[in-house]
Structures are given as C-alpha cells and as structure tokens.
C-alpha cells in the first residue's frame, strides 16, 4: 500500500489454471512481471498467454511436473525471477520446497518453513492450538485398559465418535449416543482396530452433529503482527470438497464471530505467522467451536473475503514477502456486504458428482461490477483428468446475504459454458433451496437435501423447446429439415 515501486521486479508462479491467472492479474496492476510454468499439454492455456513469460516444465504426468521442486526453482533462476508464488495445492504447503527456494536465494511467497511443518502435522498443530488457548475437540486415546478408556471417554460427553487410531475408511468407527452403549462399542472398535490395522489403539472424540465449517482469513507480517479479515463459511460440500463458500457466514452471532476470529489471531500470533493464512474451525449448533487445521497459503475461496473487505490478498502477500510488512491495522479492516463463491466444476451431479471431460467449445461468462469469474479457460481448452475438476469460480457480491444470493443465481443463469458437463444447474438449485437461504448451513447439507436438489422433471413444453433447439445443431436433422446441411463452419465443434 502506498509504495511507488513494485514489491518485486519479476516472480515465478508455480501453479496453473485460474489461480495462476488470479496472481498474474494483481502482478500486472502492481507492475510485477510474471513467469508462468506449464506442461506441454497446456502450452496454449490462458495463464500461459497472460504471463509475461512462460517456461515448459516436464514430468511423467502434468501434475508431477508441478511437484518437481528442483525443476521449478531452476526455472525461476533461469528466468530471473526473484520470488516464487506457489498458489494453492501442489508445492504450496511443502516445507522442503519453501526451504529450497530460500536456499537458492529466492523469496518464497508464503510462511516460514517451520510454520508449514507445524501446521501440516495434525497432532502437533492440535497440541499447539490447545497450548495457546484455541479450543480443540475433546478426545481421549487408549485401548489396553478398556475400563479406563471408557471412563475418560464418558467424561467428554455424548454423542461420541469412536475410531481406530491407525484407521481410515470407516472401519472400526462408530457413533455412541449414550453411556449404556459405550463399553460394548469400545470393545468392538478395539477388536476391529486390531483385526484391520494390527493396532488396538482406539480414539474417542466429541461428535459434532450438523457441524458448520467456519474459517478465518488471517494476515501476518512474520514479526508478530497478525490481522484477521473476518470469517468465511464453507459448509456446502460434496465428496468432502467445498462447492459454495461465503463471507461473512450467515446466521452467525456477532459475539461468537468475534470469539472465533480472536482464536484464529491468537493461534497465528503464537507462530508469528507470515503470509495470508486460513484457520479452519468446526462450529457446533450449540456455539462451541473447535480448531480443525490451519492452511498456510492462499485459499481457493479467498475472493469472497476480498469482495467484502475490498482488499487484494495477493498484493498483501507480495508486500509481506518483500519485507514491507503490513501497513494496515485491525480497525482498517471492515466488512461491507456479502459475497458468495460457486465452484463451477466439470462433473455430473446426478452421478455422484463424477468428473467429466470434454472441450470448452463456447464460453460467455457473466460480467458486472460485483461479479468475478475466476478462470483459466479459453474456447478450445481441453478439460482432462490431468488436473482438478474445478473449471472456474463464480464470485458474486451484494449489499446483504439475500441480495448476494439473488445476484449469484442470476449470474449462474447467465454463465454460458458449453462443451463439458458441469454442475452449474446444480449450484443454482442449491442457491434456490429455502434451507440455503433461511437456515444455518451444515456440512451434511448436500446429503440432507439430495432429493430436493435433484434435476426436476421437465414439462413436455420445456423439453420440446430444448429438443428442437438441439435438433438444429445436428446435421442429420438439418439434412432432413432443410434439404441441405448448413455449412459445417457454423456448427460448433463439428470437427469432433
């Protein structure tokens, strides 16, 4: 803020797709040159074209290329980049990469490597949170002395979730509603843990019914100054991945919001956090909340926070990484309005959200003052299984939550993205559901409303309109209807 010179002359972006485009966007505004890295299969991608320069990286798979720390650092050196922005995913939370970047004399636009190590370790980060007065879900571990385990577990309160410490995949896992079932269930869990995992250690924690996913955006300068940019709610998930996020959370008591934000700041101050980061919590219907994890990078859903605070998180990341600190103070950060993000994914909601592939044949995104369509797409872009199924993020703001929902519905209706199956209609049905508008959300929302969110039946009139418009695109139909086919050139994607 208020600097006349850019924070860096040139940075390399160790990522692709929409997030690479997002980082380039801010860099252009600030006068920072950008170097993209791309796999051969994406040499014509939008992010490659937008960057000032791009270098090809190689790997057994496209993803492997982006995980090749050595190659990426070498590319940064060769192209004269001073710093590396990791985006999200890939190497963004890899402390070895962060250390190697620093060892190469470059700046890692992220936290200190030790912070990544601490927050990347479930057990250590949980203990660290607890030590710093951030609530964690009460839990006990045991198994050898079943009576002692049962006694300690009962003191946590019910319902309880019992699982195998070494486990996964639901084996040995059960929800215990009351004390009368606890001993039997603990015995069963212990024998299943022994049988499936060769380790009888079991673990009990407070089971939160209808949990909400609330997370707090923080910014730290690495010198102990930490600010929060309020919370986001990301409870609408499918396959344990977020699909609709918003800021601020709806139906959240202001005092509780302050408490959650303060806990996030406390945790971040305790590590003298550097960079933008996100502290995730589980919020129970009774208002108790528990630390889940901290993501030490820019988050996919960061734009909703930008929309309601008016701040550019990437610019702030660059300032912090360049050692310029944080010129903002907490009172400078205010909330205005409400923002929603819908993740547009190549998938089939009707078939358990299975990923879909294809080619972007026609793209006409909605535009407007309060609309951001964050994407890395061009017409002709192939949607393959090489990368994640997220195609774009539609981010929409309004003066309040109902207005933001209405604006997001309209924006979804105006999103033209043809050539691959997407969840656009499905997202619109979620926004239109009364429970989304009126009730507190919870992570089981999609499952709870599965029937209501299914594709509605079409009236014969509606179906006929769609079928006739579709028929006009088929050569076989045109031949029959108009004697001669329309010239091939006017039929989209005919060459397939």
Partner 1 sequence: MKLKLRLNGTPHEMDIAALRPDLELRIDGRGHALRETGTTGALRHARIDGEDITYHQARSGNRAFLHLGGRTWIVEFVDPRDAAREKVQGSGDIRAPMPGVVVSVEKQPGDPVTAGDTILTIESMKLQTNLTAERDGVLAEILKSEGDVFEKGAIVARLQEEEDGDA
Nearer to partner 1, 80 or 474 (CB): 474
| Interface stretch with partner 1, choices 174-182, 223-231, 308-316, 346-354 (CB under 8 A) | 346-354
What contacts 247, CB < 8 A, 6 or more positions away? 230, 231, 232, 233, 304, 305, 307, 308, 335, 338, 339
Structural element, H or E, at residue 20: helix 17-30
Smallest gap from Cβ 418 to partner 1, in A, equals: 4
493 binds partner 1 (CB under 8 A): yes
Q: Among 46, 297, 372, 401, which one carries the catalytic annotation?
A: 297
The distance of closest approach from Cβ of residue 52 to partner 1 in the complex, given in angstroms and rounded to an integer, is 30
Comparing CB distances to partner 1, the nearer of 450 and 455 is 455
Using CB under 8 A, pick the residue from 131, 259, 332, 364 that binds partner 1: 364
Q: Residue 487 gets which letter from DSSP?
A: P
The 3-state DSSP class for residue 164 equals: strand
User: Which of residues 97, 273, 387, 445 is near partner 1 by CB under 8 A?
Assistant: 387
Longest Cα separation, the chain? 84
Exposure string over 457-496, b if 16+ CB within 10 A, otherwise e: eeeeeeeeeeeeeeeeeeeeebeeeeeebeeeeeeeeeee
DSSP single-letter state for residue 428: H
Residue nearer to partner 1 on the CB measure, 288 or 384: 384
State yes or no: is 10 an active-site residue.
Answer: no
Token pair 């360049």 is found at 322
Beta bridge partners of 204: 140, 162
User: Of 41 and 132, which has the nearer Cβ to partner 1?
Assistant: 41
Among 388, 403, 449, 485, the residue binding partner 1 under the rule CB under 8 A is: 388
Q: What angle do CA 16, 18, 21 make, to 5 degrees?
A: 80
**Residues 283/284/290/296 CA torsion (nearest 10 deg):** -20
171 counts as binding partner 1 under rule CB under 8 A: no
How many binding residues for partner 1 (CB under 8 A)? 55
Residue of 200, 103, 223 lying closest to 142 (CA atoms): 200
What is the pattern of x (binds partner 1, CB under 8 A) and - over residues 296-335? ----------------------------------------
Assigned token pair, 467? 């079928």
Residues 440-479 that bind partner 1 (CB under 8 A): 455, 458, 460, 462-474, 476-477
Count the neighbouring beta carbons within 10 Å of the beta carbon of residue 213: 21
For partner 1, give the closer residue by CB, 28 or 414.
Answer: 414
Question: What gap in Å lies between CA 301 and CA 90, rounded to an integer?
Answer: 17
By beta-carbon proximity to partner 1, the closer residue of 334 and 459 is 459
CB 66 within 8 A of CB 57: yes
Tell me if 385 contacts partner 1 by CB under 8 A: yes
Q: Where in 239-258 is the site for partner 1 (CB under 8 A)?
A: 239
CB of 345 to partner 1, least distance (A): 9
Among 9, 49, 187, 362, binds partner 1 (CB under 8 A): 362
Instruction: Please identify, among the stretches 51-59, 191-199, 254-262, 381-389, the one whose residues bind partner 1 according to the rule CB under 8 A.
Output: 381-389
How far are the Cα atoms of 20, 161, 271 from residue 78, in angstroms, in the given order?
19, 52, 34
Nearest to 217 by CA among 157, 300, 142: 300
136 touches 206 (CB < 8 A): no
The nearest distance, CB 429 to partner 1, in angstroms, is 10
CA nearest to 123, candidates 195, 205, 231 = 205
Among positions 425, 433, 440, 449, the unique one binding partner 1 when judged by CB under 8 A: 425
Choice between 329 and 488, CB closer to partner 1:
488
Q: Is 356 in the site for partner 1 (CB under 8 A)?
A: yes
Does 367 participate in binding partner 1 (rule CB under 8 A)?
Answer: no
Which residues make up the interface to partner 1 (CB under 8 A)? 239, 348, 350-359, 361-362, 364, 385, 387-389, 413-414, 416-419, 421-422, 424-425, 428, 455, 458, 460, 462-474, 476-477, 480-481, 491-494, 496
Give me the active site residues, please: 297
């Amino acid at each position: 803020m208020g600097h006349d010179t850019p924070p860096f002359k040139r940075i390399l972006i160790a990522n692709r797709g929409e997030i690479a485009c997002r980082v380039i966007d801010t860099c252009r505004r600030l006068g920072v040159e950008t170097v993209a890295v791309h796999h051969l299969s994406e040499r014509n991608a939008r992010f490659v074209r937008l960057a000032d320069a791009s270098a090809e990286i190689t790997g057994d798979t496209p993803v492997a290329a982006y995980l090749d720390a050595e190659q990426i650092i070498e590319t940064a050196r060769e192209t004269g980049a001073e710093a590396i922005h990791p985006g999200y995913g890939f190497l963004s939370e890899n402390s070895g990469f962060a250390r190697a970047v620093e060892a190469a004399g470059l700046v890692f636009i992220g936290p200190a490597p030790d912070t990544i190590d601490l927050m990347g370790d479930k057990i250590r980060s949980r203990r660290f949170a607890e030590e710093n007065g951030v609530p964690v879900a009460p839990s006990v571990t045991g198994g050898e002395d079943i009576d002692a385990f049962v006694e300690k577990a009962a003191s946590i309160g019910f319902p309880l979730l019992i699982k195998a410490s070494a486990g996964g995949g639901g084996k040995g896992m059960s929800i215990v509603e009351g004390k009368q079932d606890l001993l039997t269930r603990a015995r069963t869990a212990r024998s299943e843990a022994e049988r499936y995992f060769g380790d009888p250690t079991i673990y009990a924690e407070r089971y939160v019914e209808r949990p909400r996913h609330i997370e707090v955006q923080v910014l730290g300068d690495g010198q102990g100054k930490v600010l929060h940019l309020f919370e986001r709610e990301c409870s609408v998930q499918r396959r344990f991945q977020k699909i609709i996020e918003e800021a601020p959370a709806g139906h959240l008591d202001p005092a509780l919001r302050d408490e959650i934000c303060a806990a996030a700041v406390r945790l971040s101050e305790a590590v003298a956090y550097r960079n933008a980061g996100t502290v995730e919590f589980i919020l129970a219907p009774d208002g108790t909340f528990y630390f889940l994890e901290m993501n030490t990078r820019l988050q996919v859903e960061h734009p909703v926070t930008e929309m309601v605070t008016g701040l550019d998180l990437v610019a702030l990341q660059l300032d912090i990484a360049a050692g310029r600190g944080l010129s903002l103070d907490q009172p400078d950060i205010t909330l205005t309005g409400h923002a929603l993000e819908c993740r547009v994914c190549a998938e089939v909601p009707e078939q358990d959200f299975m990923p879909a592939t294809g080619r972007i044949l026609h793209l006409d995104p909605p535009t407007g003052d309060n609309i951001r369509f964050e994407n890395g797409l061009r017409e002709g872009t192939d949607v393959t299984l090489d990368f994640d199924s997220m195609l774009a993020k539609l981010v929409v703001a309004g003066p309040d939550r109902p207005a933001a929902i209405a604006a997001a519905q309209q924006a979804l209706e105006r999103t033209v993205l043809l050539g691959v199956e997407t969840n656009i209609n499905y997202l619109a049905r979620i926004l239109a559901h009364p429970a989304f508008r009126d009730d507190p959300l919870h992570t089981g929302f999609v499952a709870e409303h599965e029937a209501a969110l299914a594709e509605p039946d079409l009236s014969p009139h509606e179906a006929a309109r769609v079928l006739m418009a579709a028929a006009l695109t088929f050569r076989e139909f045109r031949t029959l209807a108009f004697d001669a086919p329309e010239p091939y050139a006017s039929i989209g994607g005919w060459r397939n």
